[in-house]
């Protein structure tokens, strides 16, 4: 859970920074997208690094889900008779309670997001348009429901990371002092907030017409 999650967080940071290139104009954004495909060339054939990254990420997503499902199954087996009274959470932290259903929302979002922005199957411009055109077309005001789903998913990712980031350190045994755990929890909240803001700013600016 911790190791695969860490790889996915590193990807999210890179992805968010790449997205922000949309504010530097169509050429810059498309050039960045092109660079992702040709990085390492000519030493390596095109898409080598990209394909490796894609395989590692897909593997991480699958293993992360496998770990989550096995934990949930163990939890169900560990408490065969449920409590009659509704369990009242005593721990602080709303994010912790969103991990399982939030994860499902996030994976559904990832499927939609790939169909929309990578393959163009559900994008108005289709798969042959430039990445910039696909992105701008995807978040037009008449597709407000896509943007809304996107925003909900980003909030879910934010909550997921709010718990997941510091939890990964705890699982790896790196928070052996209340002070380091406190610092990590604050850090997790800050990184999650920055990621969510970095991800939602582009779609919102496209929807309100700041980025055309």
Query: In this chain, which of 98, 123, 147, 167 binds another protein, going by CB under 8 A?
Result: 167
Q: Residue 175, interface with another protein (CB under 8 A)?
A: yes
Closer by beta carbon to another protein, 99 or else 200? 99
Calpha distance 139→210 (Å, rounded): 12
Q: Look-up: residue for tokens 């602080």?
A: 92
For residues 45-74, which are near another protein according to CB under 8 A?
Answer: 70-71, 74
The nearer residue to another protein, 90 or 212, going by C-beta atoms, is 90
Q: By the 8 A CB rule, do 211 and 29 touch?
A: no
Instruction: Give the distance, in angstroms, between the CA of residue 3 and the centroid of all CA atoms in the same chain.
Output: 15
Q: Does 163 bind another protein (CB under 8 A)?
A: yes
Nearest approach, Cβ of 130 to another protein (angstroms)? 42
The answer to whether 145 contacts another protein (rule: CB under 8 A) is no
Nearest distance from residue 84's CB to another protein, in Å? 5
Q: Which of 3, 20, 58 is nearest to 197 (CA)?
A: 20
Give the list of residues 6+ apart from residue 127 with CB closer than 8 angstroms, or none. 119, 120, 121
CA atoms lying within 13 Å on the CB side of residue 115: 9
Interacting residues with another protein between 180 and 209 (CB under 8 A):
181
- The residues that touch another protein, with contacts defined as CB under 8 A, are 1, 70-71, 74-75, 77-93, 96-97, 99, 163, 166-167, 169-178, 181
């Amino acid at each position: 859970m911790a190791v695969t999650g860490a790889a996915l967080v590193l990807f999210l940071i890179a992805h968010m920074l790449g997205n922000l290139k949309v504010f530097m104009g169509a050429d810059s954004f498309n050039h960045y997208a092109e660079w992702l495909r040709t990085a390492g060339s000519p030493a390596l054939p095109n898409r080598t690094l990209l394909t490796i990254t894609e395989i590692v990420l897909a593997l991480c997503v699958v293993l992360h889900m496998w770990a989550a499902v096995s934990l949930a199954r163990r939890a169900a087996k560990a408490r065969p008779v449920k409590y009659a009274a509704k369990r009242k959470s005593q721990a602080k932290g709303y994010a912790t309670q969103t991990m399982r259903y939030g994860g499902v929302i996030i994976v559904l979002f990832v499927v939609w997001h790939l169909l929309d922005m990578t393959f163009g199957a559900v994008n108005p411009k289709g798969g042959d348009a430039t990445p910039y055109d696909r992105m701008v077309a995807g978040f037009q005001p008449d597709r407000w429901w896509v943007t809304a789903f996107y925003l909900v998913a980003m909030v879910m990712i934010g909550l997921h990371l709010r718990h997941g980031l510091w939890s990964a350190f705890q699982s790896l045994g790196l928070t052996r002092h209340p002070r380091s755990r406190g610092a990590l929890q604050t850090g997790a909240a800050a990184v999650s907030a920055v990621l969510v803001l970095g991800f939602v700013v582009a779609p919102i600016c496209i929807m309100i017409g700041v980025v055309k």
